[in-house]
């Protein structure tokens, strides 16, 4: 790679990092809004909330990375044109394809990252995300008892708290424990905390009493305590159906009719084709932007119009990819168009870049 190529590539990498850094807060905010109820209603710890947000990010990366690449290409090549660096390079005999080479190499690398993310990272992260949310909602719901309501931890254990002073700190505690078939135990305490220790939730109660009733004799035993730790029972996790977003590519392209239902087979296949085709989108975005910015030479009048045109076409391609996914779910015969949306701009744009210089020279002659 020549010195000029490395120069342009370095500028592209800096611009890509800046664009990704600018998009990251927006993505984090959009993702965090999905889990506000886990903080407000269930009182999830900040660490769990952060884990939920970052597990949700890989699915947004499929859109964020092509957009960041588009922004980087627009910034760098518009700046090269405004500083007359493109004119100097063309005067030295550099072709349009050679000018586009650094961006094409970067686009190829982003294609690989997006493909790996769509096929491996995103489904795995989505599965962990749904498992974690299911645990928060069902298995560890005892940590987020609602004040003034009876929380059925399991069939043989009930928790009531009068007030909550924090995520898992409560006052006015009543715990009914019927796990022992020979006795019934009731705990009452002024305050207490619920936390996970060794994978199990434990209630630490302060300034309370333990009421034990023998079921056969009816005898009551009363014990007062300053501090008592009670291990709570974990309810069994309900069987959770796996969504399309967390399934592997093989499961999507060859779905089981008995498992997903005949009516959903087309939707699963559309998701599988969309994942494969999504890897083409960074390349399509890059080639479209480069073709709009480099073809036709460099002119002052075109410097404002061409970036707008490139952004509009690239954004239209991204929107069209999602629209085609919905269309294929209804008409599976259109599956090939999911790949055409990404492949056609790459082929046409690459051909224009390859022969653009020749056409321009022929026109000048």
pLDDT tens figures, 14-60: 999 999 888 887 777 777 666 665 555 554 556 666 777 788 888 88
The pLDDT, as a whole number, for residue 203 is 83
Q: Which of 130-139, 208-217, 289-298 comes out lowest in average pLDDT?
A: 130-139
Using H for helix, E for strand and C for coil, what is the string for 218-236? CCEEEEEEEEEEEECCCCC
Bigger pLDDT: 215 or 72? Answer: 72
The pLDDT, as a whole number, for residue 339 is 93
Strand ranges of the sheet holding 157-164, from the earlier edge strand across to the other edge: 150-154, 157-164, 169-177, 183-197, 200-214, 220-231
Contacts of 11 (CB under 8 A, 6+ apart): 76, 79
Mean pLDDT across the stretch 72-87? 88
Question: What is the rounded CA–CA span in Å between residue 175 and residue 200?
Answer: 17
Report yes or no: 203 and 170 within 8 Å, Cβ to Cβ.
no
Side-chain-facing half-sphere of 89: CA atoms under 13 Å: 24
Taking 70 as the threshold, does the pLDDT of residue 319 lie above it? yes
- Average pLDDT, rounded, for the chain: 82
Q: Which of 69-83, 178-192, 195-209 comes out lowest in average pLDDT?
A: 195-209
Backbone angles phi, psi at 104, to 5 degrees: -65, -40
The pLDDT, as a whole number, for residue 52 is 74
pLDDT digits (tens, 9 = 90+) for 124-166: 988 888 877 766 665 555 555 677 878 777 678 888 888 875 5
The pLDDT, as a whole number, for residue 108 is 94
The pLDDT, as a whole number, for residue 363 is 44
């Amino acid at each position: 790679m020549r010195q000029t190529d490395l120069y342009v590539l370095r500028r592209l990498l800096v611009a890509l990092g800046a664009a990704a850094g600018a998009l990251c807060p927006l993505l984090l905010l959009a993702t965090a809004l999905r889990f506000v109820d886990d903080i407000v209603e269930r009182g999830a710890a900040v660490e769990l909330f952060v884990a939920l947000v970052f597990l949700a990010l890989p699915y947004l990366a499929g859109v964020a990375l092509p957009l960041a690449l588009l922004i980087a290409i627009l910034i760098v090549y518009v700046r090269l044109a405004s500083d007359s660096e493109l004119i100097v390079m063309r005067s030295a005999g550099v072709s349009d394809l050679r000018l586009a080479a650094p961006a094409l190499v970067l686009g190829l690398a982003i294609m690989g990252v997006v493909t790996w993310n769509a096929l491996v990272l995103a489904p795995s992260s989505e599965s962990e995300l749904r498992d974690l949310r299911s645990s928060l909602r069902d298995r560890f719901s005892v940590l987020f008892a609602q004040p003034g309501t009876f929380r059925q931890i399991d069939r043989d254990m009930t928790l009531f708290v009068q007030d909550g002073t924090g995520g898992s700190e409560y006052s006015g505690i009543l715990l009914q424990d019927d796990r022992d078939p020979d006795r019934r135990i009731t705990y009452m305490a002024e305050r207490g905390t619920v936390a996970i220790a060794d994978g199990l939730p434990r209630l630490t109660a302060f300034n309370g009493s333990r009421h034990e009733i023998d079921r056969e004799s009816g005898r009551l035993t009363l014990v007062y305590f300053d501090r008592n730790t009670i291990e709570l029972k974990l309810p069994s996790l309900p069987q959770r159906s796996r969504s399309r977003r967390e399934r592997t590519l093989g499961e999507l392209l060859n779905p089981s009719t008995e498992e997903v239902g005949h009516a959903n087979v087309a939707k699963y296949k559309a998701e599988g084709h969309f994942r494969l085709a999504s890897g083409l989108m960074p390349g399509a975005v890059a080639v479209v932007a480069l073709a709009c910015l480099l073809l036709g030479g460099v002119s002052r009048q075109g410097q404002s119009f061409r970036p707008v045109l490139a952004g509009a076409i690239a954004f239209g391609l991204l929107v069209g990819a999602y629209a085609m996914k919905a269309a294929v779910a209804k008409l599976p015969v259109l599956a090939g168009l999911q790949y055409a949306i990404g492949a056609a701009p790459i082929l046409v744009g690459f051909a224009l870049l390859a022969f653009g210089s020749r056409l321009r020279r022929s026109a000048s002659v």
